[in-house]
């Protein structure tokens, strides 16, 4: 999906939410497996409260543009968290709003899905406020979003903050770039959306944002045009999304093995690899991240699963 002309992008801001913004988004909570869940309308989150264990953390996942609850990226993340079995696993199912069945991929993204991303994000924020007012500790919540879902999570964090509820953490997996950077920026995910915002970049040259937008930004294989194992594809085929989707592959692996992706701090990609001394600042992708860390962190990967190279990933691939 190419970056749309500015007059298209500007229209998105003006149009806002149009009549096709049918309220269909749902919230799911899983009961140990992907096939066993309870769902409710996103605007009625309290129906899920009896199923939430308030003594453990709750992870809310938001998938991206044209994805579904059954998409590979979605199931990778949900399955990883379900295997860990230490957190409530919830999904924001905005299948209808995120679909590209409108007037083609580019126009659908610009005129339908991006405006609805803000709408769904606001509704998610309101759901979190309602849950927190009825016993769910907001300090035990974690939002994770892929692509446009990361921007939805950003809008949710903005909404809760307006009620003085600061979410502890939002994780963005290769947040969507088109219409969220440059001249027309819908201002979704950024460091102000939560107490700690960690962002993984895997496709900044095409579908992801090109700049640092988190408290900590992880840049995977930033010295390469595409992620290892992916090929250069300038079409809009499924293969062109390979690097964009790798963010979910890396992060799901990091969930299951918290210290599998150490990353080293550097000022930019060009300087990455210059500091290999013991004084280098290192943190980890995933739940082992140091929430006091700030700045850009870099790591390299293998071309296939397992993607982790351990400490060998602290230097660029040749």
| Residue 75: CB atoms within 10 Å | 17
According to DSSP, the residues that pair with 201 across neighbouring strands are: 219
**Whats the size of the chain, residue-wise?**
318
- The question of whether 267 is a catalytic residue gets the answer no
Neighbours of 133 (CB within 10 A): 12
Given 93, 244, 252, 287, which residue is catalytic? 244
Tell me how far apart the alpha carbons of residues 280 and 278 are, in angstroms, rounded to a whole number.
5
Q: Which of 108, 147, 260, 300 is catalytic?
A: 147
Nearest to 193 by CA among 173, 167, 232, 216: 167
Q: Could you write out the three-class secondary structure of 182-242?
A: CCEECCCCCHHHCCEEEEEECCCCCCECCCCCCCEEEEECCCCCCCCCCCCCCCCCHHHHH
Q: For this structure, is 292 an active site residue?
A: no
- CA 238/CA 142 separation, integer angstroms: 29
The catalytic residue among 73, 93, 174, 217 is 174
Tell me whether residue 93 is one of the annotated catalytic residues. Answer: no
Closest CA to 171 of 30, 61, 297: 61
Q: Which residues are catalytic?
A: 147, 174, 244
């Amino acid at each position: 999906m190419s970056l749309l002309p500015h007059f298209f992008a500007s229209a998105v801001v003006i149009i806002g939410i149009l009549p096709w913004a049918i309220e269909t988004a749902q919230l799911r909570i899983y009961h140990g497996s992907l096939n066993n869940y309870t769902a409710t309308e996103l605007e009625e989150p309290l129906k899920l409260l009896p199923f939430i264990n308030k003594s453990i953390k709750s992870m809310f996942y938001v998938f991206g543009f044209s994805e579904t609850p059954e998409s590979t990226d979605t199931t990778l993340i949900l399955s990883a968290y379900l295997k860990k079995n230490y957190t409530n696993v919830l999904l924001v199912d905005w299948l209808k709003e995120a679909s590209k069945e409108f007037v083609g991929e580019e126009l659908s993204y610009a005129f339908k899905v991006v405006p609805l991303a803000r709408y769904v994000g606001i509704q998610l924020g309101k759901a979190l406020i309602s849950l927190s007012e009825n016993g769910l500790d907001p300090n035990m919540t974690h939002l994770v979003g892929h692509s446009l879902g990361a921007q939805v999570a950003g809008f949710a964090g903005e909404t809760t903050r307006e009620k003085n509820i600061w979410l502890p953490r939002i994780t963005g997996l290769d947040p969507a770039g088109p219409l969220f950077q440059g001249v027309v920026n819908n201002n979704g995910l950024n460091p102000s959306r939560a107490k700690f915002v960690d962002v993984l970049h895997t496709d900044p040259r095409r579908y992801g944002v090109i700049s640092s937008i988190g408290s900590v930004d992880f840049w995977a294989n930033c010295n390469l045009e595409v992620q290892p194992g992916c090929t250069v594809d300038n079409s809009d085929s499924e293969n062109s999304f390979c690097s964009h989707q790798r963010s979910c592959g890396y992060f799901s692996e990091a969930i299951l093995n918290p210290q599998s992706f150490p990353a080293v701090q550097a000022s930019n990609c060009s300087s990455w690899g210059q500091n290999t001394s013991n004084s280098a600042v290192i943190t980890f992708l995933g739940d082992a991240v140091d929430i006091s860390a700030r700045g850009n962190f870099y790591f390299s990967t293998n071309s296939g699963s397992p993607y982790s190279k351990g400490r060998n990933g602290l230097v660029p691939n040749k």
